Structure 1
Amino acid sequence: MDQARSTISKIFNGEPHSYTRFNLTQNMEGDNTQVEMKLSSDADEEVEGNGVGEHLNHTCKPRVAQKSGRTPKNLCFIGATIFLIFIIGYLIGYLVHRKKDSVPISSASVLPLENTVVHEMGAAPLMDWDDVKRLLAEKIKVKTFDSTFSEFGSAGHQAGSSGDESLANKVLRKFKEFGMTTWTDEHFIKVQDPPTSGKPNRIFFQSEDYSADGFLSYSATGTVTGAVVYAHYGREFDLTALTERNIELKGRVVLVRAGRISFAEKVANAAKKNAAAVLIYPDSNEEMTPLFGHVHMGLGDPYTPGFPSFNHTQFPPVQSSGLPTILAQTISKSTATKILGKLNGQAMLDSWGSFGRLGDINDNITVEVNNVLTEKKINNVFGVIKGFVDADRYMVIGAQRDAWGPGFAASTVGTSVLVNLARAISDMVKNDGFKPRRSIIFASWSAGEYGSIGATEWLEGYLSSLSLKAFSYVNLDGIVTGSAGFKVAASPLMHSLVRSTMKEVSNLNTGASIFSRLTDNNWESNVLEPLKLDNAAYPFLTFSGIPSISFRFSDNSDYPYFGTTLDTLDKLTQVTGNKVSQLTQIAAQFAGQIVLRLVHDHLLQMDLAKYDKVIRTHLAQINLRFKNLQNTNPQFPKNLTMKWLMSASGSYSRASRGMASVILNSNLEDVEMCRVINDRIMTVERNFLSPYVSPRESPFRHILFGSGSHTLQGLLDHLDALRSNKPEADFALFQTQFALATWTIQGCANSLAGDIWSLDNEI
């Protein structure tokens, strides 16, 4: 009957054939108002612009219905015609329905992650995936980056400066040239800058005054004096190694090398040991290079934690708990070498690979930090290529624009890739017939060097919208820092997509030998790495629950010129063996294919089963400590059991398998069905954000990759504290945290399972 009604409707209300390329979508706000419309003529159909998503905005002019005579003869004729059409439509619908039911559904329908492509029959004709890859490869050439590097390179473009604003305008003009819809996002942020006059930052050691040209934003200010002690990279186990040798850290000034962990983590680790200050020097051979960075143990503007730094935001004075309480300052390697050469005390640890002494209680040093707090206006710049089916679902690809100095590897390479991908994909849409199903947002962030402020403030400002509509983020910061290896930090949902994309890019580029060396047997151990706090993709994943990916070509050691004025094309050319443009091209193709695959296929390429393994790995560690504590501590609650946490894990496993079954048995030619399935897939990452903690107090709410007591790692840490009888250990608090973590996992499983009557209520 539905087929018959559809046929009749099309005959009496059908559109001329010339209009069939337009897709009339349902009003998402639920407005059922009906208006009789007259479609415009062929001449009126011409639209301006590049056609990127503009078919969704086509408007029609209303016409007034004309009266017509109704005679008994005409009414009989119309009635007979309707009856005849009804019979024909019924027969057609019956035959079509039988034919559809007779077609078996292939197992290839289950989230194709390799080269299998399910062809779309929806509103946007689906271009063959091989053609999409070929078009992208044709438009991303090595020579294009040589000119782009020159255009977007700059000697100085610190956040909020005229150089930063000039680059923002260049990016904006490019997006407009490509025919994209553009906009900007303005924020007023508070940052610390070095003193410009009056009292400079200074170091005094053994009656000698050492200059401190670099600085660390968000350090505490003032003057402290304490005995200096060398602590290698300032990691937790580095400091533990000192305490195990009976070296007291309280009140000491800790001297550490840059690298391995962020500046903020080094300072936070020293603060936990009650140190008075931290001095950091570059881990490079450049003796006099000043070093810049920040020490906020968080992301975004630390003076508007959890909410955006818009000019109209009227909150009482507040600051992030991640701001350090001790002084922090950078010094040159030359200064560090002089200080190390004069230290006394115990001999250096052999494993640290250094010579000299660690320092004793008489090696006093004075640190004076006079940084000033200033307000800056920053602008994020955006351009969008609108989708042709689900335009209100979008992925974001972004790169920071600012840098302490030239920032070639830090920002110029990423900005060049961002602009060239925007150009290439826009051209594919305008001239080659490519129609992305979903929208792509290209973002140029400011204040990345102060702790991903531009990206984080944008997320905070539009959290409610982004968490529902943004389904992925690709980060382009620092993507070329070497040539020997390839590293990826990503949500487990994207791991399978990463592996398949590496294979495809390797097949397209004979020079991508790094990819071809990574086989299925070793790719995870050799390629995947944790997503760190100082990565711009981190807030997308852990604050907003958006599956994210960050990647880089790198060597075995950290790139030594980040945060210095030596981050130039010449230095990066030396590090990569004169392969900067070639590696940038391959990186652009890798990022481009990730983006295009996610907007091309009718189902989002997210592997739900990957999280099952991640959850079970965490639970195995928790269970081991849980059982040990249960057997050894008489205060352990008798009614507390691992059963329900294990059950929640099982619920997620069953829900992910159930989703695979839903996909297998669904008509994937149905556009609305695909949208429903994709929306369920999108809930997974978002529902791993704990709903029981405040995004202001605990912004990184992801229980698997975030930070805080609500995470599964937090449960492990609390179990260790209970076993060691530390002051912060509390059985009642642990039991609450344990229950909330259980229900967070169960809630994610329930959401993935679908309708309320489909939920697993075993728990």
Structure 2
Amino acid sequence: MEKLVADKWESEEHLNHKIIDMINTDNLRNNLMELAKLPHLAGTERDHQLAHMIRDRFLEAGFDTADLVPYDVLLSRPNRTNPNLVTLEDVEGQIIFSSTYQEKPLHEDDSDPEFIHAFNAFTPAGDVRTEAGRGVVYVNYARVEDFDKLEELNVNVSGCIVIARYGKIFRGNKVLQAQERGAQGIILFSDPRDVALEGVEAQNVYPNTWWLPGSGMQRGTTYMGTGDSLTPGWPSTAQAYRLKVEDVQLPKIPCQPIGYDDARVILKKIGGTPAPSDDWKGGLTGVAYNLGPELQDRYSNYTLRLKTHNVLQIHRSYNVIGTIKGEVEPDRYVLLGNHRDAWGYGASDPSSGTAQMLETARVFGQLISSTGWRPRRTLVFCSWGAEEYGLIGSTEWVEENVNKLQERAVMYLNTDNCASGPAILIPSSPLLWEPVTRIMKMVPGVRDGATLYDEWMANNVAQNRTSPNPVSIRAINDQMMKLEQVFILPAGLPGRPTVRHAVFAQSQFDNYAPARFPGISDLLYRIEELDAAERLEKEDEIRKHISDLTIMMERAASFLQDFHLI
């Protein structure tokens, strides 16, 4: 009982500082060099090698368990021998311009046969082209409001190939918007206004600065869901029933990323409607950022062609799960995780996070072997597979272990990119405010502050809270742990059954952005455009969802009452 109610923060303060002192920055550096030495796309041989290496490191550290957990999942890859291309052709079919499909090598040994060609995962193979002299539309960031503006300006994208800037929203939402507006294909590029703020000259971009050079292309998934698309809601184990690929909600139009050097060639030739404002203009000099759909008169015999050869296949992907059994509450899990796969070498995303996870594992293992100490709760270290394609490895594992996790998981700490600039940024549930600030007060500063907290306070306004009566720690911990579960909708959000949190979720229109009370915003979207009967039906859905939310809020308020009250 004494161990159950004891506050390890207070009783083991010396141990916390010992853990911090045991971190070896040389190990972090060496880990990162090994992890980022070669490309390791999900499901490739190098990805498997790293999974085995991480499993072995957990075992060497003295973990109680360390296992490879395999799932066979649907992934997407470009054709190695037949790259995706964007071309400009004349009326006789002669190629005037052809896009590049790999970045320009910066050093002699930069090229690696396993480094994939530029592509956007889960977009289909396709071959589409415009009419001569017209059919290309620049759509800014391809957001809902951008397409609405084009409609207002009478610029019709139906049947056209659209070209859009990366940024602002998730690329999958860009493809979906283009598809729903009738476009036959979409080209994505990173604009200098977003990725090369000091200029596009050689001295102002990588490797001389950190800004993107002109041949840089952003690979990424366009899948709007999470997990294996063939087994929604269930783990992709050997016995799982799998949907047919043609029944899965994947993009229907081809899409290809290009560098801004190639984008300049295309954008300079677009005429038609001028850009409506400076917000639509990027940073390419000599480019007016006209909207189209016509090309300029001197290019009236040109057609734009988009040809992709992406392939869907089932590949094996491994999660690595290691555990250190807790001493007091072994049935409570604190999870620390990060994905392992990358579109390329992945030095920042995700290997900076995996490098520290491996060092953290080593430190905990050494602490256990040298002192006999064990954590209060069971620690679960997770190296996820196939995250870049749509959180696949982590989703499949949660689907396989959902009953245990709902009852036993205390919190999950995700690390991913561990180098993010001069100011610390920790997006999390508001319930974790106090432990996060408490930890920051213990960690030495990296610039001019005594601690990370001091440095953080220099840039942010924060307020202290009052560490509770130790006797009620267990009950308060359970309140914190279980409160989030009050807001889980068993049937999911209206129209999004796999998204179950009613208060915090990703936006339906931008998978990168958070939404508060997402069901409400989803149901209100374009309600004014519905006819009378459709609007009445939608309003009834809104009333029902508000009822659900009201009941949840009442449950949450009740859950936070004194423990003895039912």
Structure 2 length normalisation: TM-score? 0.79
Match of 2:114 in 1: none
The CA distance in 1 between the partners of 2:407 and 2:447, in whole Å, is 36
- The structural deviation recorded for 1:702 is 0.5
Deviation sequence 1:318-362 (CA, Å, 0-9, x none): 778652232221123222111011111233331244341324223
Deviation sequence 1:91-117 (CA, Å, 0-9, x none): xxxxxxxxxxxxxxxxxxxxxxxxxxx
* 1:489 is aligned to 2:294: no
Question: Which residue, out of 125, 128, 142, partners 2:11?
Answer: 128
Change (3 A) 1:357 1:720: closer
Match of 1:686 in 2: 485
Equivalent AA in structure 2 for residue 351 of structure 1? D
- The structural deviation recorded for 1:754 is 7.6
Equivalent AA in structure 2 for residue 522 of structure 1? N
Equivalent AA in structure 2 for residue 691 of structure 1? P
Match of 2:110 in 1: none
Match of 2:72 in 1: 188
- RMSD of Structure 2 on Structure 1 (CA): 3.4
Change (3 A) 1:332 1:245: same
- Pairing 1:86-101 to 2, within 5 Å after superposition: none
Question: Which residue, out of 3, 16, 23, partners 1:140?
Answer: 23
Change (3 A) 1:703 1:453: same
- The structural deviation recorded for 1:193 is 0.8
The CA distance in 2 between the partners of 1:399 and 1:260, in whole Å, is 24
Do the aligned residues in 2 keep the contact of 1:305 with 1:320 (CA within 8 Å)? Answer: no
* 1:733 is aligned to 2:541: yes
Deviation sequence 1:302-329 (CA, Å, 0-9, x none): 2222211112212443778652232221
Do the aligned residues in 2 keep the contact of 1:680 with 1:754 (CA within 8 Å)? Answer: no
Match of 1:8 in 2: none
Match of 1:361 in 2: 293
Change (3 A) 1:234 1:506: farther
Deviation sequence 1:73-104 (CA, Å, 0-9, x none): xxxxxxxxxxxxxxxxxxxxxxxxxxxxxxxx
Deviation sequence 1:402-444 (CA, Å, 0-9, x none): 1121110012211111100011122223324543110111111
Equivalent AA in structure 2 for residue 210 of structure 1? S
Change (3 A) 1:200 1:521: closer
Change (3 A) 1:196 1:524: farther
* 1:419 is aligned to 2:358: yes
Match of 2:256 in 1: 329
Structure of higher CA gyration radius: 1
Look up the SS of the partner of 2:547 in the other structure.
helix
Look up the SS of the partner of 1:500 in the other structure.
helix
Do the aligned residues in 2 keep the contact of 1:711 with 1:741 (CA within 8 Å)? Answer: no
Do the aligned residues in 2 keep the contact of 1:153 with 1:408 (CA within 8 Å)? Answer: yes
* 1:279 is aligned to 2:163: no
The CA distance in 1 between the partners of 2:447 and 2:516, in whole Å, is 41
Deviation sequence 1:455-475 (CA, Å, 0-9, x none): 111111111111111111111
Match of 2:565 in 1: 758
The CA distance in 2 between the partners of 1:708 and 1:357, in whole Å, is 28
The CA distance in 2 between the partners of 1:316 and 1:754, in whole Å, is 47
Do the aligned residues in 1 keep the contact of 2:352 with 2:418 (CA within 8 Å)? Answer: yes
Match of 1:210 in 2: 98
Equivalent AA in structure 2 for residue 323 of structure 1? L
- Pairing 1:707-726 to 2, within 5 Å after superposition: 712-719=517-524, 721-723=526-528, 725=530
Which moves more between the two structures, 324-333 or 374-383?
324-333
- The structural deviation recorded for 1:388 is 0.4
Question: Which residue, out of 35, 49, 52, partners 1:169?
Answer: 52
The CA distance in 2 between the partners of 1:695 and 1:714, in whole Å, is 6
The CA distance in 2 between the partners of 1:697 and 1:241, in whole Å, is 27
Change (3 A) 1:294 1:388: same
Deviation sequence 1:270-319 (CA, Å, 0-9, x none): 33433332211234442233432110012211222221111221244377
Look up the SS of the partner of 1:264 in the other structure.
helix
Do the aligned residues in 1 keep the contact of 2:272 with 2:294 (CA within 8 Å)? Answer: no
Match of 1:296 in 2: 223
Deviation sequence 1:687-722 (CA, Å, 0-9, x none): 211134389952111111125899723324534644
The CA distance in 2 between the partners of 1:220 and 1:701, in whole Å, is 29
Do the aligned residues in 2 keep the contact of 1:306 with 1:697 (CA within 8 Å)? Answer: no
Change (3 A) 1:343 1:722: closer
Structure 1 length normalisation: TM-score? 0.60
Equivalent AA in structure 1 for residue 221 of structure 2? H
Equivalent AA in structure 2 for residue 195 of structure 1? N
The CA distance in 2 between the partners of 1:125 and 1:200, in whole Å, is 57
Look up the SS of the partner of 2:220 in the other structure.
strand
Change (3 A) 1:280 1:522: same
The CA distance in 2 between the partners of 1:501 and 1:322, in whole Å, is 43
- Pairing 1:233-382 to 2, within 5 Å after superposition: 233-283=141-191, 284=195, 285-317=212-244, 323-348=250-275, 349-354=277-282, 355-363=287-295, 365-382=304-321
Change (3 A) 1:124 1:751: closer
Change (3 A) 1:262 1:422: same
Match of 1:748 in 2: 556
The CA distance in 2 between the partners of 1:204 and 1:692, in whole Å, is 46
The CA distance in 1 between the partners of 2:278 and 2:557, in whole Å, is 49
Look up the SS of the partner of 1:706 in the other structure.
strand
- Pairing 1:425-574 to 2, within 5 Å after superposition: 425-432=364-371, 434-481=373-420, 483-506=421-444, 510=448, 515-519=453-457, 522-523=460-461
Do the aligned residues in 1 keep the contact of 2:325 with 2:374 (CA within 8 Å)? Answer: no
* 1:231 is aligned to 2:139: yes
Match of 1:699 in 2: 498
* 1:201 is aligned to 2:84: yes
Unaligned residue ranges in structure 2 (runs of 5+): 102-116, 196-211, 296-302, 509-514
Deviation sequence 1:568-616 (CA, Å, 0-9, x none): xxxxxxxxxxxxxxxxxxxxxxxxxxxxxxxxxxxxx9x9x9xxxxxxx
Match of 2:108 in 1: none
Which moves more between the two structures, 297-306 or 315-324?
315-324
Match of 1:69 in 2: none
Look up the SS of the partner of 1:408 in the other structure.
coil
The CA distance in 1 between the partners of 2:527 and 2:30, in whole Å, is 59
Equivalent AA in structure 2 for residue 475 of structure 1? N
- The structural deviation recorded for 1:492 is 1.4
Change (3 A) 1:236 1:523: farther
Q: Which has the higher contact order (CA 8 A, sep 6+)?
A: 2
Q: Tell me the matched-pair count.
A: 500
The CA distance in 1 between the partners of 2:492 and 2:30, in whole Å, is 48
Change (3 A) 1:124 1:344: closer
Change (3 A) 1:132 1:261: farther
Equivalent AA in structure 1 for residue 518 of structure 2? Q
Question: Which residue, out of 402, 405, 416, partners 2:341?
Answer: 402
- The structural deviation recorded for 1:742 is 1.8
Change (3 A) 1:134 1:246: same
The CA distance in 2 between the partners of 1:452 and 1:719, in whole Å, is 28
The CA distance in 2 between the partners of 1:321 and 1:712, in whole Å, is 27
- Pairing 1:105-116 to 2, within 5 Å after superposition: none
